[in-house]
Each structure stands twice: as structure tokens, then as C-alpha cells.
Chains A and B, each alone.
Chain A
Amino acid sequence: KAGVTQTPRYLIKTRGQQVTLSCSPISGHRSVSWYQQTPGQGLQFLFEYFSETQRNKGNFPGRFSGRQFSNSRSEMNVSTLELGDSALYLCASRYAGDGDTQYFGPGTRLTVL
């Protein structure tokens, strides 16, 4: 079974631009979560989608948004990029509930110049 895939793997943007990241979960998984990982803050939860609905949201500004499609694929959008948005963005999928293990993708490395 294929793992979680994320595209693109690397991205360079300038301040003020917007970016869209994509995540394809493991087949059959209906929950997709997004995380931001930086050296100083570690892993921080952005949001979780389940069956096309946002189920939970972390403490990030409204510039960070996401959505999930009927095939469970998910996209994350960051508008008006700031230097501090430079990070590794990880997507994780799981079948449904908390007892299910989250499987992480390789991440998208975003650099904002």
C-alpha cells in the first residue's frame, strides 16, 4: 500500500506571495492532519480534516487554510507569506479515530525569502 505523498517536496517563495501544498493520504484513510515543524517550535498542529470537513484547528492565523476533497486528498494554503512561515509542512493520515496510528508524509520544505 502506498504511503502518504506530499507535493511539492521543496518550495521557495517570497514574502507576500501565497502557496498551496498538496497531500494524498494512504488509500482508505479518511483523516488528514497538517503540521508545521520548525527548529525552534517543533511540531505544531495546524488542522485536521475528516470526510471533507474540518474537524479540529490549531492556533494559527487565518492566513493558513485547508480543504479536503471527496477522495480524501487535502490541500493547504498559506496566503500573504511571511519569513516566519519558512518550515517543514507535514501531512499525516489515519483511518479515522484517535486509536489509529498517524502516518506521516515526507513533508514539503517551504522557504520564504
Chain B
Amino acid sequence: KNQVEQSPQSLIILEGKNCTLQCNYTVSPFSNLRWYKQDTGRGPVSLTIMTFSENTKSNGRYTATLDADTKQSSLHITASQLSDSASYICVVSASSSASKIIFGSGTRLSIRP
């Protein structure tokens, strides 16, 4: 069964600290993996996209890694800011159809001043 599991479910850190969010998947065949940021009451916004051959991708203070062998991905946030408070969703695509896009349940990140 195609699944995407994220951990932790929620996380609270102090402003300026780093953090790492985890994503494990069992989606097959694998096409690509995306990380989205979703602010409260808003639609998700794409942060990074990685295909099978890519093992790291950066977008400013966000760095995503992918280990296709162990089917694990992580999103590392450096020098967190209050505006990083949001839900981070890992999304794995199994094929070219939208119905094969499997969403993780997300990690709720709160940054405290």
C-alpha cells in the first residue's frame, strides 16, 4: 500500500534554532518527492521537488534530502524564523497522474520567540 509517513507530528523550537523534519514513504513506482509549506488557512506552497537521481535540493534556508534506497527524505530548516511556523507536508508521486500523488499528514512546526 502506498503510504507517506511524517514525523514528528508537531514540533516547537526557539527562533534561530535549526530543525529537521522526517518523511518515510512506501510509494512505488517512485516518480518524485515534494515538500510543501502550508500556512494556517492558506493553500500549500511548493518548497522543493526531487527526482530519483537527486539526493539534495536547497531553497534558501530549506534543504531537502532524499535517500531513494531507504525511501526516506528530510527537510532541514536553518536559523528558523517566526514566519516558518506552518505545516510542512511531504508529497510523493507514483506516476504521471494526480491520483497517484500521496500526501503525508504533515508536521506542524511552531517557532517561539
Interfacial residues, chain A to chain B (CB-CB below 8 A): 4, 31, 33, 42-45, 48, 55-58, 90, 92, 97-99, 101-107, 109
Contacts and interface: CB of A to CB of B under 8 A. Distances in A.
Interface of B: 31-32, 34, 36, 41-46, 49, 89, 93, 95-99, 101, 103-106
A98 B95 contact: yes
A58 B36 CA distance: 21
A60 B95 CA distance: 20
Given A98-B32, A99-B32, A92 B97 contact: no
Given A92-B43, A98-B31, A104-B43, A55 B97 contact: yes
Contacts, number: 54
A contact patch SS: strand
Nearest to B93: A98
A58 B93 contact: no
A32 to B, nearest CB: 10
A107 B97 contact: no
Nearest to B102: A45
B104 A42 contact: yes
B42 A56 contact: no
A55 B98 contact: yes
9 contacts: A31-B98, A55-B97, A56-B99, A57-B99, A90-B43, A98-B96, A104-B44, A106-B41, A106-B42
Given A45-B98, A98-B31, A98-B95, A107 B105 contact: no
A90 B101 CA distance: 14
A45 B101 contact: yes
